[in-house]
Structures are given as structure tokens and as C-alpha cells.
Structure 1
């Protein structure tokens, strides 16, 4: 038996009419067509309980009833049932005037049949409305399933993107030195500073995810410069400085907010608050907030980590330098935020040692 035929036979139909004889005629007509799940109500005031306890696929509703007429029932249904649970309603009445018909349709009815009704017409209308109702229900279910699949796919893509970002950040670090945890520490430092500074959760999460790519441009710098154990010459330093523009170019034109922020960080995290940084000599708040935050996180971790050209500094010495550079290299308010979360930053350093 086709799926729709099964659905039609299993449909739950509610008949509301204060006249018991009318109820008997309607029930007999429906049962002759194979409909078995029929609930009949002669007292409309009892309908509240029915709508709470049951879900109906179709309602056959009389208009002229004492105490609560068909229009009042439609109003009750509108209050109790949301759109997805509001079934088609076919009004059954001896009133054939146009005003009643329009009023019924305006108040939520799907159709209008005058009494005495023709058996064939009634069954045809019932069949049409039930088919539409079940098609809509199936479409809703399919849309919900599709939405779940889209969400799952989106989550998988986001997870893949995050993994790609982290690995790309680590790729740059592995060329520079062996501090594989540097990008992780900078990420957590930047997030902690942003939180203390009062940024919203979305920004804090985003900067934590994007900051591991701050030095991705080092991929374009030669090993002789990256791994040089001593001080760089002026020419070598100029080449090293190019990693910020290389990183910005690698990450540029991204469609996602995440990649746009990552590009911003890569390009601006070596700018200085006093305007003496690079590559563009931006000053003060002309430097994007993300770049100002990562500047502190990156410098602190670089100072307290062993590199080919230096030994690790004690935390106190690194903090002292950052304090001295307040208003020069670093945003003063962000330095204050950094100092407030310093215990947390030291815990992160301990948890993610090289």
C-alpha cells in the first residue's frame, strides 16, 4: 500500500457538532471511506482537553452551536496550537451567506461546506486537505532532517577549519624553533587578556582561535635568517620583518570572520602603540585591537621562551619590560589587563611548557 494511502487511513479526524444526528451521518460517511480514527464532540466547551491530549490531522467543525460557536472554536485553536500543529479545518454549516464564508476563512478555516452536504463532495474535500496536511508534515520533517545534517556538516567544516588554523600556525613555529606550544600559549594569553579587557565572548573565542596564525608569514622567510643563532644584520632584519606582510597576504581575502581576524592579527601584531612599529607605523588605537592584544601575548611568550638566539627570561623580567613599554610598545589599558590576569597566564605557561 502506498505511503500516502497509509497516512490517510491513519489520519485522526475531529468532528465538532452539537447535533448528535449530524455526528452519526458524518462518522458513517468517513468510515465508509476507510477512516477509522474519528473523535466526535458535541460539547465545544470540552475541546480544550482534546487539544491538550491529542493531535488531529483534520477538524470538521459546525458553525452554529450554543455557548461556543465555530468561530469561537477557531479562536481557541489559534490560542492553543502553534502553526505546525494547527490542522486544516473544514466548516460545516447550513449558512450559505458570503459573509459567514469569508469570516470562517479569515479566522483560520481551510474550507467551507454547506449542509446538507454531498457525500462525494465531503469525502473529496477531506481527502484533499488530508493529503496537503501530510505533505506539509513530511516536508517539515525532511527540512528538520536536512537542517540537522547541515548543522552537522557545518560543525565538521568548522572543526576542520580550526584544525587547519592550528596546524598552519604550528608549521610556521616549527620552521622558527621547536616551541610547538608557542601558538597555543599565545592563543590562551590573548583570550585571557581580551576577557579581562571586557570584550564579549564571541570576540574572545575568535581571537583565541585566530591568534595561532600570527606568525604564519615566517613560512616565507629563509632558514638562514629564522635559525640564525646570533643577532640579525640590518638587511636580515628587514627580511624578517616581511613575515607580517607575507602572513597578511596568505590570510587575505578570507570570507569568514575568523580568517579576516587572523589576517588582521598577522599584519598588525608588530605595530607599536607609539607608532614606531611595522609594517605601517600605525599609532595608538589606529592599530586594531586584535593586533594590540596579540602584541603583548606574543612578546611575553617570546621573552619567556628559549630561542636559537637567546635564553628564556624569568617571568618577572619579562613583565618588567612590558610594564616599562606601557604607552610605548603596548596599549596602556591592555597592559593593565595583562597584569590583572598574570597569575592565569603563568598557569598557562606551566601547563603548556615546551
Structure 2
């Protein structure tokens, strides 16, 4: 079962949205080294939104501070596009270390939050944790079991 889950994780579709090409390249390299093959990447947040709308995504790695459409706006758009009963993990990776940024991102649907510069091993471990939860949630749904509903309080 464990290697089956591991294989499923590595076949997951991961969307990376960051306006800094160096960050996208770093994440791509990390993920490919871990065996992930289905990566979608955008340095323009509008392109990231288009990719999200056109592809079934299993995980989003998202920067917050971007031109034209910031990460908060993308979080709001993603939440409108994802069915309420679905579990879509979003890991925010940002240079904004402030508590209000963390709270706002988490209240808008981010499932995890790391500040840049991040530790490469920690990012990979968090990605595996989030994908494992996604796979288990999809497995529950296959058996007709609903995802636990956890209403999220909204903070400014």
C-alpha cells in the first residue's frame, strides 16, 4: 500500500505559480529529483489561473506577492473553482513573513505556509504530506464517504 501511495503521489499534477523564474526552476528541480513528472509551471499568475482552469490539479505551490494578480486573488479564484466537498491542497511559499499574511492565506484556503528562503527538504516533506492527505480524501470519496467538513473562520 505504501509504495502504491508513493507512486500515486509522484503521478500527481502539481501547479507551481511564482513570478520569479529562479523559484519555479528550483521547485521544478526538487520535484523532478523526487520523481514527480506532471508539473505545470507559470511565472505569470494569469497563466497560472488558466492552467488551473484547464487541468485537474492535485497540489498548488503558490507565491503571494506577484504583479497583476497576487496570490490572495488566486486563492479566492481557486476556491470558487473547486467544489466545496473537494480537498485541494495549496502550499503558499512566500517571502512575506508577517503574521497577517500567513493568517490571510490560510483563511483563504491555503493548507500550508512556508516562508522563503525555504528549506528544500522541508518543502518536499510538506508536499508529500499534502499529497498523501489528498489521495486519502479521494479514496474516501470513492467509497462514498464524505470529506470531513471543517468550516474555516475568516480573518482579515
1:61 equivalent in structure 2: 62
1:43 aligns with 2:8: no
Q: Return the structure number with greater strand share.
A: 2
Looking at structure 2, the residues matched to 83 and 37 of structure 1 have their Cα atoms a distance apart, in angstroms, of 25
Shift in Å at residue 121 of structure 1?
A: 0.3
Partner of 1:87, secondary structure, is: coil
Looking at structure 1, the residues matched to 20 and 59 of structure 2 have their Cα atoms a distance apart, in angstroms, of 19
Larger RCO: 1 or 2 (CA < 8 Å, sep 6+): 2
Deviation sequence 1:307-353 (CA, Å, 0-9, x none): xxxxxxxxxxxxxxxxxxxxxxxxxxxxxxxxxxxxxxxxxxxxxxx
Deviation sequence 1:205-225 (CA, Å, 0-9, x none): xxxxxxxxxxxxxxxxxxxxx
Aligned counterparts, 1:266-345, within 5 A:
none
Query: Conserved in 1, the CA contact under 8 Å of 2:87 and 2:134?
Result: no
Looking at structure 1, the residues matched to 61 and 136 of structure 2 have their Cα atoms a distance apart, in angstroms, of 19
- What is the alpha-carbon root mean square deviation over aligned residues? 1.4
* Structure with larger Rg: 1
Change beyond 3 A, Cα 1:63–1:48? closer
Shift in Å at residue 142 of structure 1?
A: 1.0
Shift in Å at residue 88 of structure 1?
A: 0.4
2:116 equivalent in structure 1: 115
Shift in Å at residue 83 of structure 1?
A: 2.6
Aligned counterparts, 1:2-81, within 5 A:
2-81=3-82
1:128 equivalent in structure 2: 129
Q: Extract unaligned runs of 5+ from structure 2.
A: 146-156
Shift in Å at residue 52 of structure 1?
A: 2.6
Looking at structure 1, the residues matched to 85 and 13 of structure 2 have their Cα atoms a distance apart, in angstroms, of 15
Looking at structure 2, the residues matched to 23 and 51 of structure 1 have their Cα atoms a distance apart, in angstroms, of 16
Partner of 2:143, secondary structure, is: helix
Looking at structure 1, the residues matched to 58 and 46 of structure 2 have their Cα atoms a distance apart, in angstroms, of 20
Shift in Å at residue 82 of structure 1?
A: 1.1
Query: Conserved in 2, the CA contact under 8 Å of 1:18 and 1:65?
Result: yes
Q: Extract unaligned runs of 5+ from structure 1.
A: 145-354
1:249 equivalent in structure 2: none
TM-score scaled by length of structure 2: 0.87
**How many residues get paired?**
144
Query: Conserved in 2, the CA contact under 8 Å of 1:78 and 1:86?
Result: no
Shift in Å at residue 45 of structure 1?
A: 1.3
Query: Conserved in 1, the CA contact under 8 Å of 2:95 and 2:115?
Result: yes
Shift in Å at residue 5 of structure 1?
A: 1.3
| 4+ runs deviating over 2 angstroms | 46-49, 83-86
TM-score scaled by length of structure 1: 0.39
Looking at structure 1, the residues matched to 85 and 14 of structure 2 have their Cα atoms a distance apart, in angstroms, of 16
2:141 equivalent in structure 1: 140
Looking at structure 2, the residues matched to 51 and 22 of structure 1 have their Cα atoms a distance apart, in angstroms, of 19
Deviation sequence 1:61-82 (CA, Å, 0-9, x none): 0000001110000011112221
Aligned counterparts, 1:237-256, within 5 A:
none
Shift in Å at residue 84 of structure 1?
A: 4.2
Deviation sequence 1:289-314 (CA, Å, 0-9, x none): xxxxxxxxxxxxxxxxxxxxxxxxxx
Partner of 2:109, secondary structure, is: coil
